[in-house]
Structure 1
Amino acid sequence: MQTISINDFLEKSNVSHMSGPGNFNMLRINEKDPCALQPIPYHRRSFYKINLLRGSYDIHFAEETYKVSKYAIFFANPLSPYNWIPGDGAHSGVYCIFNTDFFHHFGSLQAYSVFQQDGVKVFELQEEQFFRLDGIFSEMQAAYQSDDKHKYDLIRSKIYELLHFASKLDTQKGNVFQHGRASARLVKAFLDLLEEQFDVAINPNGIILKTTFDFAAALSVHPNYLNRVLKENMGSSTKQLIQERFLQQARILLRYSDLDISQIAHMLGFRELTHFSAFFRKHERISPSMCRKV
């Protein structure tokens, strides 16, 4: 299973779009758009997405399926693969997409349960709630299309408004069908443990766990079993998920910190700068120093 990037997603869309910081984009869909009429493939996306939906849908995650009958707001994060299948009738909506860079130094999206592995991701809405949220999206769209130099600050505030609104909605899962919970628990434990490796408060001396065997031992499971569960639920192997998270942290430190590249390499558990440079260049196709200049 492949991971879809924002650029891949936008290239395949049949609507015009603009690119902002953090690859922020916002699109409205109507009944004639392909994404409103066709099933969306089951993939992991490398970006966040907040989607206000109108119509009937089945939205599938690895651990559960949500059935939407009329109105809903849907939160997707880069760690959870999903797809949706439109039901009968008309479908429309609006959504925004962005990556982690869009909120760098502007709070932590991961603190909100809607973006956590075991959080409620889809909320069915009453008609009044739908139109209230549609109004927030309309304000975001007006700012997005304006020439205001501070427009992205306003958009970030509106996204937080959506998150706060969702946090007050009923978290009782209505039309939700659960999948294998043991696998879901293991996926969450792995992702939590992976995030801990980059928490300075927990690991002040840098990365401790770096390999599939390290994580399997910490989770008290066989490496092959961990790999199979992650592959089935997230579409990527344990090694790929670890590498992707390391690369994400490397990009953040290179672009937004004043640390020397050798210090960054040490923080990420590389004993030699050459090893870090070779790892980064292999996956990013540019050197760490070039990434810092981009």
Structure 2
Amino acid sequence: MLNKNQELYEVNKIESLQDFYDRLKVQRPEVIVPSLESVINTGHFGVFKRSMHCTANPSPYNRRDYYKISLIIGSGILHYSGQRILVNERALLFTNPNIPYAWEGTSKTQAGYFCLFTENFVHKRNESLRESLLWRLQDCPIMPISQQQEQLFTELFVKMMNENEGPYVHKHELLRNYIQLIVHEALKVQPADTYFKENNAAVRLTSLFMELLERQFPIGSTDHVLELRTAHDFASKLSVHVNHLNHAVKEVTGRTTSEHVLKRIATEAAALLRHTEWNVAQIAYCLGFEYPANFNIFFKRQMQCTPKSFRKEEVPY
């Protein structure tokens, strides 16, 4: 059972994909660890059975640098950003890189499935999930489901497993569609009051900030110029003092408001370079950079390469 000292100690740690696969290979040595280069370029998606990953011990209480959707079949306690959420028999769980959490199984059976994916895997052109549950489920990420709904989501996860292991050349596009389908099916599910929740104003404010940030994307034309680029811009839009916003976001996510904004702008810059024929000056202008030289410096700092060299890279799909 997790105690408060464990939570406070682990909250600022971030589990990477490498950490996840290192833990998984202890039980499944045959699992192939994705290369860092492929994760940076095209993103990463993986889907697994929970029985091969869940153990009797609680998972580490920390943030992950990937998104995760779990179909939980079994009972347990979700420790989630100061909350203690009870899960009985079956549920869907949506988690993201912003909120620390841990799973503590309380039943002998821990079945079901889960998929995980990086931010750049879903941030492809016309494939954004920014309006979905992935960013809205900040207060309560658990959705209890019925036995009939369990069957529906099981079928979707099985299809994802089959496609992920198959040779179809456009399988990543299809997998993104399956993620969308799971999210839309989940939107029909109403969560029940089976958990204890603290009144966390910081979580709610962070959720509003993240949603406001995501609503600015994708950039659809060269006439579309980013409006909100600084912590002060977002604080003004949310009618709060910038120090209050910064404190809330840092408390909940472990990252500053500016770090989130800069990372998201870099992600969009990479998408525009990869999926449009706009020149660098046009992309820089849309993202709020007055001079292309400033954009080049920003992009190299965020992506460790220049916009020109990034665009020249041939990335397989």
**Cα distance between partner residues in 2 of 1:17 and 1:125:** 32
Alignment CA distance shift 1:135-1:209 (3 Å): closer
Unmatched tracts of structure 1, length 5 or more: none
Q: Aligned match of 2:74 in 48, 55, 58?
A: 55
Please tell me the residue identity of whatever aligns with 1:138: V
State the partner residue of 1:273: 292
Match of 2:143 in 1: 123
Match of 1:161 in 2: 181
2:51 — aligned with what? 30
* Offset, 1:61: 3.3
Q: How many residues align?
A: 290
Kept in 1, the 8 Å contact 2:68–2:115? The answer is yes
Identify if the C-alpha distance between structure 1 residues 136 and 118 changes in structure 2 by more than 3 Å, giving closer, same or farther: same
Counterpart in the other structure of 1:13 = 24
Q: Secondary structure at the match of 1:207?
A: coil
Task: Confirm or deny that 1:254 pairs with 2:273.
Answer: yes
**Does 1:172 pair with 2:183?**
no
Query: Paired residue for 1:216?
Result: 235
Percent sequence identity is 30
Q: CA deviation at 1:137?
A: 1.6
Residue pair 1:29, 1:36 contacting (<8 A) in 2 also? no
Deviations 1:181-225 (A, max 9, x none): 432332133223323444668x95522332223322333323222
Partners of 1:155 and 1:191 in 2: CA distance: 24
Q: 1:195 aligns with which of 214, 218, 243?
A: 214
Asked if 2 retains the 8 angstrom alpha-carbon contact of 1:17 and 1:26, the reply is: no
Asked if the contact 2:72/2:93 (under 8 Å) is kept, the reply is yes
**Whole-angstrom distance in 2 between the partners of 1:4 and 1:189:** 24
Q: What's the offset of the Cα at 1:157? A: 4.1
Alignment partners' CA distance in 2, 1:268 and 1:248: 11
Out of 136, 140, 151, the residue aligned to residue 156 of structure 2 is 136
- CA-CA distance at 1:99 after TM superposition: 3.2
Deviation per CA, 1:64-117, whole angstroms, max 9, x where unpaired?
543212212212234444332222423233211223444424544233335424
SS of match in other structure, 1:37: coil
| Whole-angstrom CA distance in 2 between matches of 1:179 and 1:253 | 40
Aligned twin of 1:149:
169
**Tell me, what secondary structure is at the counterpart of 1:147?**
coil
Residue 89 of structure 1 corresponds to: 108
Report the residue type matching 2:299 in the other structure.
F
Question: In structure 2, do the counterparts of structure 1 residues 218 and 133 end up closer, same or farther at CA, with 3 Å as the change threshold?
Answer: closer
TM-score of the superposition, structure 1-length normalised?
0.83
Per the alignment, in what secondary structure is the counterpart of residue 191 of structure 2?
Answer: coil
Partner of 1:282: 301
Unaligned residue ranges in structure 2 (runs of 5+): 1-11
1:57, 1:86 within 8 Å by CA — same for their partners in 2? yes
RMSD: 3.0
Against the structure 1 CA distance between its residues 257 and 124, is the aligned structure 2 distance closer, same or farther, given a 3 Å change threshold?
same
What displacement does 1:153 show? 4.7
8 Å contact kept, 1:49–1:95: yes
Are positions 1:240 and 2:259 aligned together? yes
Question: Secondary structure at 2:168's aligned position in 1?
Answer: coil
Encode CA deviations 1:152-201: one digit per residue, 9 max, x unaligned.
Answer: 454344334323332222x1332122223432332133223323444668
Distance 2:176 2:257 in 1: 32
Choose which of 120, 126, 129 in structure 2 pairs with 1:109. 129
